[in-house]
Structure 1
Amino acid sequence: MTARDIALLTNPTAGKGRGARYRDAVLPRLRAAGLTVRNLAGRDADEAQDLAHQAVADGVDAVVVVGGDGMAHLAAQALAGTGAALGVIPAGTGNDVARYFGLPRRDPVAAADVVIAGRTRTVDLARSGPRHFVTVLAAGFDAIVNERANKMTWPKGQMRYNLATVAELRTFEPIPYTLELDGARVNLEAMLVAIGNGPSFGGGLRITEGAILDDGLLDVVIIKPMSKPGLIRTYPKLFKGTHVTHPAYEHHRVRSVTVAAPGIVSYADGERFGPLPLTVECVPGALTVLT
């Protein structure tokens, strides 16, 4: 399919203003290629969400987001199960969705050319209640760090997460979880539980290494209790996926998982997703992506 009628949905503030600059770079390219482009930007996430839903209801062939994983997450809510495609012009901080599909992450015009070419791939989504996610749901230490970082006003960018990690690590203790893995109940303590539709989150942290986007399954990774120095030593291994050999690592492939733990607010695609408990299921073939 070549998308002829697309909605270009921008987060102007993504990547410290890259969103607006990248939109201005790709808009003439897309129109010159003969695409009909609706140029949309929400004043906030709710308005952007409404714009995406309206564009899909109007019958666009694709919603192309200019931004990061949060914008892909937002668009996926409108696109799930519709057959209309997701396009991505990466302009965020993490850009894991772009990583999944090998999209150019530093060249918006090259990313626009992917949209113009119109090749598509159909992949799964994960769903909890009415909400979907594309990448990974974090439900442990990583989610606690996200909560703290979101409450901080300084510094900006990755350093905020580094400081939040250090602050939480001082008092962090293993979390008691109850999991149901395709109906089998498990009670355990762990540092974190991650539920992956894809293999990475947080800018290339390959927590659910080996997750396949179109296998009809979720990848549930459990990191069992380890010392704080051990956690610090293991963290860099997440960028290569080599943490899978650690004795505290456990991996399950399931169609559905329920995760419960006291006081944890989960994050998915880097966005605040909701407090536990949650039941997450795989929705095979729910999303079409321009690749």
Structure 2
Amino acid sequence: MSDTPSARRSLTVVYNPVKVDDLVAAQELVAKAAARHGWEDPSWIETTKDETGEKQGREAVRAGSDVVASLGGDGTVRAVASALVGSDVALGLLPGGTGNLLARNLGLPVDSLEDAVEAMLGGTDRRIDVGLMRVSDEPIRPSASHATKDGGGQVADDEEVFLVMAGLGLDGQVMAGTNEKVKAVVGWVAYVFSFFRHLFSRGFRVEVTSAGDEGVLERAGNTVNRHARTVVVGNCGTLQGGIELMPEAKIDDGILDTVVIAPQGALGWLSVVSDVVTRHRAGHQRLDRLRGEEFTINAGRPVEAEIDGDPIGEHVSLGIRILPDSLVVRVG
């Protein structure tokens, strides 16, 4: 999918004040860059604890912004993107948090606000897929989930947008158990500390079923049923530290990639780590990989879930589908 140049000149920055150390300096930096590139003077809208970015994004769209940039963590990115899905208004990505996972997967600058601003203002538009997830505390039948083709290009009222990954199990426990104060000091390494604290917590029985065109389904029967530690569904595949959990995942292929991780003890975890590090794609007895347009995940008990790194509590079931080419992003 090729990028196309854009003549858009109106920018709104939706920012999380908790993630911006020096707001005045950031505003001056963006304003000067906008002037150099021939853009209008940017508008700025602050998020709050209750309004985390989606409402502000919709306000920016109604005001006629051509690009709405997120300046904050991954949660702010997801909230702002939710307001832009299905429109021609582009999402800009300015680093302000620990993860910046969407920017990382798109190869955009994450260590320099100045570089990220230049990439956004001087870049081009690219359409990407988004994932949609709904949760339930009762089992979801695969036939009852939101079919991709029937759902069309709309986000249902009970669905949440995700851009990178969602799932349940150990990944949800890690996100829920990460100390925010520690994360503020050591960055993404705080997730490693949380990972080891939950490494040997008990697993859960789970059934994962994929659906979609036969051409994209990877496994005969399209179902995995086993005792697992975590299930992750990805729109793209790179985690913190450059770890490629899903090496085949592409952000604009209309397909979701899923891993079901089921290690037993320390040796099982070593086997999983070896698989990920060596980019082994066929899967083995500790790790199953599936691909499809839609997934239904039913656990045997309530399990901690997460969406783009934000813990959302314990749930029994997830219904997840892809919404292809539904979000415009500014890329360098």
TM (norm. structure 2) is 0.77
1:253 aligns with 2:253: no
- Structure 1 residue 65, shift from structure 2 partner: 1.3
* Secondary structure, aligned partner of 2:54: helix
| 2:114 matched residue in structure 1 | 109
* Secondary structure, aligned partner of 2:244: coil
Among 260, 279, 287, the alignment partner of 1:242 is 279
* Secondary structure, aligned partner of 1:214: coil
* Secondary structure, aligned partner of 2:254: coil
Q: Distance in 2 between matches of 1:56 and 1:144?
A: 35
- Structure 1 residue 244, shift from structure 2 partner: 4.3
Q: Distance in 1 between matches of 2:281 and 2:174?
A: 22
Task: Report if aligned partners of 2:188, 2:240 keep a CA contact under 8 Å in 1.
Answer: no
Q: Distance in 2 between matches of 1:243 and 1:154?
A: 36
Among 293, 306, 330, the alignment partner of 1:267 is 306
| 1:287 matched residue in structure 2 | 327
1:28 partner amino acid: K
- Structure 1 residue 197, shift from structure 2 partner: 0.5
1:145 aligns with 2:174: yes
Q: Distance in 1 between matches of 2:78 and 2:69?
A: 12
Q: Distance in 1 between matches of 2:224 and 2:105?
A: 31
**More displaced 10-residue stretch of structure 1: 199-208 or 100-109:** 199-208
* Secondary structure, aligned partner of 1:40: strand
Residues 1-291 of structure 1 aligned to structure 2 (within 5 Å): 1-14=6-19, 17=21, 22-36=26-40, 37-44=42-49, 46-128=51-133, 129-149=158-178, 152=179, 154-156=181-183, 157-170=187-200, 172-182=201-211, 184-202=222-240, 204-231=242-269, 234-235=272-273, 238=276, 240=277, 242=279, 244=281, 247=284, 248-261=286-299, 262-273=301-312, 275-291=315-331
Q: Distance in 2 between matches of 1:271 and 1:20?
A: 28
* Secondary structure, aligned partner of 2:108: coil
**More displaced 10-residue stretch of structure 1: 199-208 or 104-113:** 199-208
Q: Deviations over 1:58-89 (max 9, x none)?
A: 33111111223222211111011111111111
Q: Supply the RMSD in Å over aligned alpha carbons.
A: 2.6
Task: Report if aligned partners of 2:162, 2:308 keep a CA contact under 8 Å in 1.
Answer: yes
**More displaced 10-residue stretch of structure 1: 30-39 or 80-89:** 30-39
Task: Report if aligned partners of 1:201, 1:269 keep a CA contact under 8 Å in 2.
Answer: no
2:175 partner amino acid: N
Gaps of 5+ in 2: 1-5, 134-157, 213-221
Q: Distance in 1 between matches of 2:47 and 2:28?
A: 16
Q: Distance in 1 between matches of 2:87 and 2:164?
A: 19
**More displaced 10-residue stretch of structure 1: 98-107 or 158-167:** 158-167
Q: Distance in 2 between matches of 1:163 and 1:107?
A: 26
- Structure 1 residue 125, shift from structure 2 partner: 0.5
* Secondary structure, aligned partner of 1:277: strand
TM (norm. structure 1) is 0.87
- Structure 1 residue 21, shift from structure 2 partner: 5.1
1:224 partner amino acid: A
2:116 partner amino acid: A
Q: Distance in 2 between matches of 1:235 and 1:19?
A: 40
* Secondary structure, aligned partner of 2:34: helix
Matched residues, number:
286
1:162 partner amino acid: V
1:155 partner amino acid: V
Task: Report if aligned partners of 1:19, 1:91 keep a CA contact under 8 Å in 2.
Answer: no
Distance 1:220 1:24, change over 3 A: same
Task: Report if aligned partners of 2:283, 2:289 keep a CA contact under 8 Å in 1.
Answer: no
Gaps of 5+ in 1: none
**More displaced 10-residue stretch of structure 1: 52-61 or 17-26:** 17-26
Q: Deviations over 1:173-212 (max 9, x none)?
A: 2321122211855421112111011112345332222101
1:242 partner amino acid: R
1:196 partner amino acid: G
* Secondary structure, aligned partner of 2:17: coil
- Structure 1 residue 121, shift from structure 2 partner: 0.8
- Structure 1 residue 7, shift from structure 2 partner: 0.9
**More displaced 10-residue stretch of structure 1: 188-197 or 57-66:** 57-66
- Structure 1 residue 102, shift from structure 2 partner: 1.4
